[in-house]
Chain A
């Protein structure tokens, strides 16, 4: 699974860092920063949950072919 985050949409709620700390962090400005772009297993599940919790719809997941 490929993950992208749109910093221009981000409102810095921190929900993604709380839900998927292995995938997301916040930069010094409080906006989202990706730790890793391609995911599998638990990180992918957590990232999917983080995307659904994001209040600003700033997280995008796309399935990736092997």
Chain B
């Protein structure tokens, strides 16, 4: 859809009932723009009341400044066990209480417990250690692209299964330090299971039992296993931390890369700038992260009254912080609805903000940069094999493409 039409009011939006609060917009009309109804929320104010699907009220945050200040406010908790914790969609409510205990680690704990958990995982996710995996990831990308190049060009390829998904899995095995059969086992597991938590639990337990036999590993699981041997971590913690990293790290990255490929193919002028070397890939990745912002929102509950942006969030109120809306705040990003790879403003909140800011962000950046740069350099004639509005999408809390048919 033309970018210029973005700011027109979304009349008769199905989420909006007359004389009542607006609902939480969850449906994208265009794959690379957030739901248009976010702009109706923004018109009401940077922090405004909404009604969730189950009739409860909550606050929606669309303003960039409010987003950042609230996510650094210790009076908001991530504790999902709080009765007031808002559910954005029914499927999450059905999964309560606590879908899997493992997934609470890091994601659903507040400081000081959160600080302790994060610091156990941090060393292997530091910027330079992650970037040292670049050659291995590039080699994996090139092997996958070799496979694609060997296929007959008469048939389109589905790029997510042929390239994006296995490459992101390789980024994960590299960081975890899983090579050879252990790496293949994780690839299989990621490929075969919809609910990853139970099989990961088995995999990580058996791996930990074998780890003293494989000294010299340099991955995150080697670090965690050393902490178990030192008595600083329990086996349960090893399993939970490993599970959280794998589960939280896959889908969002895959969705972002697939959507970035589509978006660059649709914005040919911007792609040309990249190919001409006018813009470094690293900067382009930041703008794509801002622009695409595939998550639907971060959820918190207020533990005390908080005054912000002219409203008072009361203790017990639910708060939904909309990353894609904050990333399109016209007061921060000039011409916010335009993809502009030359943009120097790196202040997007696609990884969140505050102490919970994505711990895997450096890996995600590397995954996206390697995936896109190798693909577009290898196949200068890459194009969509279907009209953009016929590419299947997956609406939901993480927006994604159902498939990405391409020719090369």
Contact = CB atoms under 8 A, between A and B. Distances in A.
A55 B357 CA distance: 7
Interface residues of A, number: 19
Contacts, number: 57
A12 B355 contact: no
B355 A17 contact: no
A52 B344 CA distance: 14
Main secondary structure of the interface of A (DSSP, over half): loop
A55 B352 CA distance: 8
Given A12-B125, A56-B355, A29 B119 contact: yes
Interface string B127-144: 110100000000000000
B213 to A, nearest CB: 25
A65 to B, nearest CB: 29
Interface residues of B, number: 24
Interface string A19-62: 10000011011110000000000000000010011011100000
Nearest to B357: A55
Given A11-B357, A12-B126, A14-B127, A55 B119 contact: no
B123 interface: yes
B347 A30 contact: no
A2 interface: no
Contacts of A12: 118-119, 122, 125-126, 359
B354 interface: yes
Given A11-B118, A30-B125, A55 B346 contact: no
Contacts of A13: 351, 357-358, 361
A30 B355 contact: no
B333 interface: no
B27 interface: no
A25 B128 CA distance: 9
A61 B361 CA distance: 25
B127 A17 contact: yes
Contact of A18 (B123, B127, B353, B354): B127
B347 A52 contact: yes
Interface string B12-27: 0000000000000000
Interface of A: 11-14, 17-19, 25-26, 28-31, 49, 52-53, 55-57
Interface of B: 71-72, 118-119, 122-128, 130, 346-347, 351-355, 357-359, 361-362
Given A25-B128, A56-B357, 20 more contacts: A12-B119, A12-B359, A13-B351, A13-B357, A14-B130, A14-B361, A17-B126, A26-B127, A29-B119, A29-B122, A29-B123, A30-B123, A49-B346, A52-B347, A53-B347, A55-B71, A55-B352, A55-B355, A56-B72, A56-B354
24 contacts: A12-B118, A12-B359, A13-B357, A14-B125, A14-B126, A14-B361, A17-B126, A17-B127, A25-B128, A26-B128, A28-B123, A29-B119, A29-B122, A30-B119, A30-B122, A30-B125, A30-B126, A49-B346, A53-B346, A55-B352, A55-B354, A56-B72, A56-B355, A57-B72
